């Protein structure tokens, strides 16, 4: 099954990003394809390389970057939502890219299912 993923919440304010990450990891392990992961609203904060969690806490941003590298995932950050939150190309974590809402629409069209995490 080809999946599109939409994440609307930040990495440390809500469980949505953790749940989405674990969902994607499990889906990939089961042989499913992730067409695209789209970060929208506060979800764009998952892409900031400026995030520095304490050493004894999980690094959500780094987990997304590593998953993208390992599985060649397309991690897209909404440009309008990112700019509102001060996120630009120069402070994106590895594996993320900024683009427009058309990428979310395309994911909805191309994927068999679009799974949303967060409000």
pLDDT by residue for the chain (119 residues), tens digit each? 999 999 999 999 899 999 999 999 999 999 999 999 999 999 999 999 998 889 888 999 999 999 999 999 999 999 999 999 999 999 999 999 999 999 999 999 999 999 999 98
Please name the helix (run of DSSP H) or strand (run of DSSP E) that holds residue 62, with its range, or none: helix 60-71
Q: What pTM was estimated for this model as a whole?
A: 0.96
Q: What is the CATH number of the domain that holds 89?
A: 3.40.1260.10
Verify whether residue 78 is a known catalytic residue. yes
The range of the structural domain enclosing residue 92 comes to 2-117
pLDDT of residue 30: 98
Write down the catalytic residue from 47, 78, 92, 107: 78
Based on the structure, what is the number of domains in the chain?
1
Which of 4, 26, 1 is CA-nearest to residue 76?
A: 4
* 60 contacts 96 by C-beta, under 8 angstroms: no
Question: From CA 23, how far away is CA 19, in angstroms rounded?
Answer: 6
pLDDT of residue 13: 87
pLDDT of residue 21: 98
Helix, strand, coil percentages in the chain from 3-state DSSP, rounded to 5: 45, 25, 35
């Amino acid at each position: 099954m080809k999946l599109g993923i939409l994440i609307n919440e930040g990495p440390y304010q809500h469980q949505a990003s953790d749940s989405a990450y674990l969902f994607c990891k499990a889906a990939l392990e089961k042989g499913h394809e992730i067409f695209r992961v789209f970060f929208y609203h506060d979800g764009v904060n998952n892409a900031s390389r400026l995030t520095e969690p304490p050493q004894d806490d999980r690094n959500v941003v780094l987990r997304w970057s590593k998953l993208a590298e390992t599985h060649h995932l397309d991690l897209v950050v909404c440009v309008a939502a990112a700019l509102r939150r001060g996120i630009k190309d120069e402070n994106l974590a590895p594996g993320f890219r900024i683009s427009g809402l058309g990428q979310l629409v395309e994911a909805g069209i191309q994927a068999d299912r679009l799974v949303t995490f967060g409000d």
